[in-house]
């Protein structure tokens, strides 16, 4: 069982209110210490999946108090080992505040994921146009292009491990779920700059080297199939799950990079060398993968129960997510039809249709 430590700062004299809020949860430990400026520091150890519910209730109760703050810390280990809380205690419903609604009083156990705030911080960190991001994109695209030119799978995997386009795309999906337009604009800008930089690096290399489209690793990304779309859907789900469960991003960065960086590098190489027919194939593959990654990430976040903290945002967030899901679904279906007709539909059948 994973745990989190909450450091909660509240004014002195609100200890009873804190007990009412925390009393609804199977908390392992609460340690309280007096601070300066008439404040109290409470350290609360609890299961990770209950973090979001408790922090939301604490914000609801204490947001109007001066000095209130919550800090969420990851716990690597705790000794002695906390006793397993009974399921009936975890699912218990108690009164937190006399004026609270029944829905707010329920102890909600999250579906084995980290809190909304932790997820937001992980995704937003690195989702910005900085010299580090630009350098990572440059290196990733350069390594991917060289790997494609040499037909070297190991080198291409090296570009996948760098995976600089992972967070901007996951952040874009999270922004739709949370109805966060600031994060949306930031993600779109970061994605656009990253895509253009990677395309430019591969284009220049393709212009200088004049690669052959017959190279197997290049050819595999210019002749598209439905299996490429399935791979991208799986990659997007893996990336979203990795972030929501707190798994290291590098473990699934490879899968997401499979769907984004290699076809983008292939597109640049083919455009730079003047192979427009092959460039069309890699462009369709990149667009299909882009739609697949965002669509699967959206669905994964939805199934994980991620939504805005404030109730008044729920309706607009749901409406926005439905619109986004519809857009990506139509876009992906359209591209899938193009893929099927151009690359997968038997040529003999096409010839018979026009005889």
Half-sphere CA count of 76, side-chain side, radius 13 A = 0
The fold of 3-105 is: Alpha-Beta Plaits (3.30.70)
- Read off the pTM: 0.80
Task: Please state, for a pLDDT cut of 90, what percent of the chain lies above it.
Answer: 40
CA distance 332 to 226: 11
Instruction: Return the domain boundaries, the chain.
Output: 3-105, 116-350
Beta strand 69-75 pairing with 3-11: antiparallel
CB 109 within 8 A of CB 87: no
Q: Between the CA of residue 31 and those of 40, 55, 67, 203, 293, what are the distances in Å? A: 10, 17, 18, 59, 43
Looking at residue 273, what is its pLDDT? 92
Beta partners for residue 3, in sequence order: 47, 75
List, in order, residues 6 or more apart from 314 with CB less than 8 Å away.
307, 308
Q: Which residue has the higher pLDDT, 52 or 122?
A: 52
Rounded to the nearest 10 degrees, the angle between the axes of helix 166-178 and helix 226-244 is 70
CA distance 141 to 195: 10
Looking at residue 29, what is its pLDDT? 80
Q: Which residue has the higher pLDDT, 259 or 255?
A: 259
Token pair, residue 343, equals 């690359």
Q: Between the CA of residue 97 and those of 33, 102, 128, what are the distances in Å? A: 24, 10, 40
CB atoms within 10 A of CB 139: 15
Looking at residue 275, what is its pLDDT? 93
CA distance 133 to 91: 43
Looking at residue 228, what is its pLDDT? 83
**How confident is the model over 137-167, as pLDDT tens digits?**
999 999 999 999 999 888 888 777 777 888 8
Q: 286-318 burial, b for 16+ CB within 10 Å, e for fewer?
A: bbbbbbbbbbbbbbbbbebebbbeeeeeeeebe
Kindly indicate the confidence band of residue 125, based on its pLDDT and cuts at 50, 70 and 90: confident
**How confident is the model over 62-117, as pLDDT tens digits?**
988 999 999 999 888 888 776 654 444 444 433 334 444 344 445 555 567 888 88
Residue with tokens 């800008």: 189
């Amino acid at each position: 069982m994973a745990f989190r430590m909450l450091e909660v700062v509240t004014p002195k004299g609100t200890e009873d209110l804190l007990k009412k809020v925390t009393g609804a949860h199977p908390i392992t430990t609460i340690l309280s210490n007096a601070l300066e400026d008439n404040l109290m520091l409470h350290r609360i150890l609890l299961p990770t999946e209950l973090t979001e519910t408790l922090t939301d209730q604490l914000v609801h109760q204490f947001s109007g108090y001066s000095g209130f703050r919550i800090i969420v810390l990851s716990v690597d280990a705790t000794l002695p080992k906390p006793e397993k809380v009974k399921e009936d205690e975890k699912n218990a419903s108690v009164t937190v505040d006399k004026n609270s609604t029944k829905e707010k009083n329920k102890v909600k156990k999250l579906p084995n994921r980290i809190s909304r705030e932790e997820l937001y911080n992980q995704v937003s960190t690195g989702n910005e146009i900085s010299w580090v991001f630009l350098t990572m994109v440059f290196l990733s695209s350069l390594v991917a292009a060289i790997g494609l030119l040499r037909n070297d799978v190991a080198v291409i995997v090296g570009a996948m491990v760098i995976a600089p386009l992972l967070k901007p795309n996951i952040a874009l999906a999270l922004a739709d779920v949370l109805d966060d337009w600031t994060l949306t604009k930031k993600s779109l800008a970061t994605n656009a700059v990253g895509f253009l930089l990677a395309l430019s690096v591969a284009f220049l290399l393709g212009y200088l080297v004049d690669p052959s489209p017959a190279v197997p690793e290049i050819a595999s990304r210019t002749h598209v199939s439905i299996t490429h779309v399935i791979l991208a859907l799986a990659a997007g789900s893996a990336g979203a799950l990795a972030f929501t469960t707190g798994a290291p991003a590098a473990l699934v960065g490879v899968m997401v990079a499979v769907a984004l960086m290699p076809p983008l590098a292939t597109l640049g190489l083919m455009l730079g060398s003047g192979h427009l027919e092959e460039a069309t194939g890699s462009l369709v593959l990149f667009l299909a993968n882009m739609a697949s990654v965002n669509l699967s990430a959206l669905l994964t976040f939805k199934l994980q129960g991620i939504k805005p903290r404030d109730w008044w945002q729920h309706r607009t967030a749901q409406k926005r997510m439905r619109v986004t899901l519809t857009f990506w679904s139509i876009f992906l279906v359209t591209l899938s039809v193009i893929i099927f007709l151009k690359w997968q539909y038997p040529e003999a059948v096409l010839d018979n249709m026009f005889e």
